[in-house]
Every structure is written in structure tokens, then in C-alpha cells.
Amino acid sequence: MTESMLDYTLATIEGYESYWSFTKGNKGYSGVVTYCRVAPLHAQEGFGVSEFDQEGRCVMTDHGSFVLFNVYFPNSGAGDDRMKYKVAFHEAFQAEVEKLLHQGRNVIVTGDVNIAHSELDVWHPAKFMAKQSAGCSTQERNWIDQFLECGFKDAYRELHPNDKVFSWWDQRNVRARICNEGWRIDYFFVSSSFFGQVVESDILTKIVGSDHCPITLVLKEQPPLPPHDLPPNTGRLRAPLPIPTTNSQLSLLKFFPGKTSTATESAQPVHSSCEPQSSSSMSAATPQETSLPISPLTAPPVPPPLPPPLPSLAAATSTQKRPRPSEMSKDKRSNKRLKQTPVNGERSIASFFKSPQSDKQHSNNR
């Protein structure tokens, strides 16, 4: 998405700082955001390679005890050119991450990796892996092996080694979600040196609203960050003119605890420092003041009144004896049948298409 497409309710969640990476090219093509309850020590859009950063695929935030990469990895399904692009993206990204590991930093990588790593991660492995389908090719799956070998663990698979649970279902297949014909392509990769801090990782398959479902990672209590200034020039959303709200993104607010605030006509000043906070999970700690308030959500429209009920069919039933066909002339026979009401509580379908004047006349004739 582009910044001009941003909805106010998405941009300003009360108690959270938001850090965005927007696509510089095709609208709606890609884009990621990281919401932080405690402002990070540092934040960065992309990882320094313009070829990849222009698609809005990565936000890096430094949380002291770990560095978080929120990444939307490329899809290889658009042909050989995109596969080459994806391979180059993997190499550049892994090189950046390995620099941090060599510096002794703990790293967490999360996002849509667009690869089903093992047979447990796709509903029909024989079909997709045998055909080398995009996202199931040997080349792509081997890259995850290589990435894990450089010092990472797949959090969900480490804690649930035999579970076949999916995080994505193809929307082009109308039965995919119903029949659970999905893939697991969303991950938390945690550096091995930091994996002892992981409490749980889960896939929330019951939450709908997208072709993906949320995944979670819970960490042990982390040391509070020291007082620090907000990261400058990081892609963090600043205060534009108020953006109209819609109800289309209301479901996202359920993931953020806290109550909404009343919107103001102009943006409020941004606080310049963050006090020490304690955290109990990856997105933990006491909410901080946000740079923009949330606009009040509009009330849902009042549904139109229901139409009046149809008259009782029993009341429309006539007890008048039908004349025999021989008693009517041939010319009047078909016309008479339209005016009669069938017996046994039935109602002629023709009566539903008559004008009110015709209905009144028909009632008087009976």
C-alpha cells in the first residue's frame, strides 16, 4: 500500500508507535508495518538495498534485547524473473542478518515468507512439491534450510514438531478455507542464542478476514529499555492532515488493547523521549502516547425496516364452489381461472402480480 491509501484507524492505534514501509511503485502491491507499545531504540525501513527497499517489504526495529525484522518476502509465482528477484532478495537479506549475528545481537524475523518449508506445511505435498509449484520448489525450501543453519530456529515447528496447521489459504479456491486446504508460509525465525526466551508460538486459524491468519510469538519478560529519543527519520508515520475513518478496518483494532480516544482537528506534538518500561511479551509494556489520536468510529447504519408480512394464505382461500367447465363458455374459461383462488389453502401465483385495483375488484367479485 501507499501512504495516501492509509486509513486513520490503521495509522494511529492508541498506545502504539507505528513504523511503516510503503511501496514506491505499484499501489497495493506490498507494504509492511510494525506497531510498538514501547518505541524502539532504532528503526529502519528496508535493509539498505534500493532494488528491494522500493517495494516496501521490510521494517527493522531494535528493541534492545533483540532486533526484529518484519518482512514480506517476494512471491516467485509470476515467472522466472520473479524467482531470480526472490533469490537475490534472500541473499541480500541473509547477509544483513548475519552481520547482526556476528555482532552478538539476538534477531527475530517474522512475516510472510511465501514458502512452505516441509511436507507438514502444505495440505497436499505430493501435488505441489512434485510439481515444483511456486512456494514449494526445492530451491525455495532449501533456502529456509540454509537460513536456519546460519543460526535460527523456526519457533512454531520447534514447539509443535508434528502439527499440520496452516496460515494461508488460496482465495481462488472457494473450498480451501472450509476444507483446510492451506499452507504454512508465515513464520517466526528466532536466533538460536535467544530461543530460550520463547514461551509459545501459535497460529490463530479461527480468526478470519484475510487469506492469511495471525501468528503469535510470546517471550519471557525482557529488560526495560533505558530512556531514549524516538528514532529519527525511520519511516515512522508523522502527523499529516486527518485521514477519514471507515469501518472496514475495525477488526484490526481488536488486536490492540486499550480504548479509543477522541480525534482532534490537528495533530498533537510527539513526545521526545521514552521512559523505561517493562515487557512481558514481544509487543509488551505500558502504552506510550501516540503522535496522532484515533478518529471515532462511525456508528453502523440502521438497517431498513422489514416489509410488511404477506396476508395469511388461509384467509385468501375461497370456499366458493367452482363451476364446471361445461357451465362456462370457452372464451371465458381461461380468464375465469385467473380470477379463481385455488383450493386447499393454496394461492394462485397470478395473484402476486395484480395491481391493487385489480385485487380489490377480484375480492368484490368473490
- Asked if 112 is an active-site residue, the reply is yes
| Helix axes 138-149 and 80-102, enclosed angle (nearest 10) | 0
Write out pLDDT tens, residues 176-221: 999 999 999 999 999 999 999 999 999 999 999 899 999 999 999 9
pLDDT of residue 221: 95
pLDDT of residue 321: 54
pLDDT of residue 177: 93
* Catalytic residue chosen out of the listed positions 53, 112, 145, 170: 112
In the structure grid, which three cell numbers stand for residue 265, read together?
Answer: 482537528
* pLDDT values of the chain reduced to their tens digit, one per residue, 366 residues: 667 777 777 777 888 888 988 888 766 678 899 999 999 999 998 888 878 888 889 999 999 999 999 999 998 876 778 899 999 999 999 999 999 999 999 999 999 999 999 999 999 998 888 888 889 899 999 999 999 999 999 999 999 999 999 999 998 898 999 999 999 999 999 999 999 999 999 999 999 989 999 999 999 999 999 888 877 645 554 433 333 434 433 344 555 555 443 333 333 333 333 433 333 344 333 333 333 333 333 344 555 666 666 655 444 444 455 556 555 555 555 454 444 545 555 455 555 454 555 444 544 544
Residue with C-alpha cell 541473509?
94
Which of 204, 192, 193, 198 is closest to 217 using CA atoms?
198
- The alpha carbon dihedral of 353, 356, 361, 362 has a sign of positive
In the structure grid, which three cell numbers stand for residue 352, read together?
Answer: 402476486
- How far apart are the C-alpha atoms of 222 and 220, rounded to whole Å? 6
Alpha helices in 36-137 (DSSP H): 50-53, 80-102, 125-130
Longest dimension (CA), the chain: 106
pLDDT of residue 281: 41
Prediction pTM value: 0.66
Q: Are residues 70 and 34 in contact, defined by beta-carbon separation less than 8 angstroms?
A: yes
In the structure grid, which three cell numbers stand for residue 100, read together?
Answer: 547482526
Residue with C-alpha cell 479509543?
260
DSSP 314-336: TTT---PPPPPGGGS-HHHHHHH
CA distances from 359 to 320, 338, 346, 364, 366 (A): 17, 12, 16, 9, 11
Residues 6+ apart with CB under 8 A from 260: 14, 253, 294, 296, 297
In the structure grid, which three cell numbers stand for residue 80, read together?
Answer: 522466472
- How far apart are the C-alpha atoms of 347 and 338, rounded to whole Å? 11
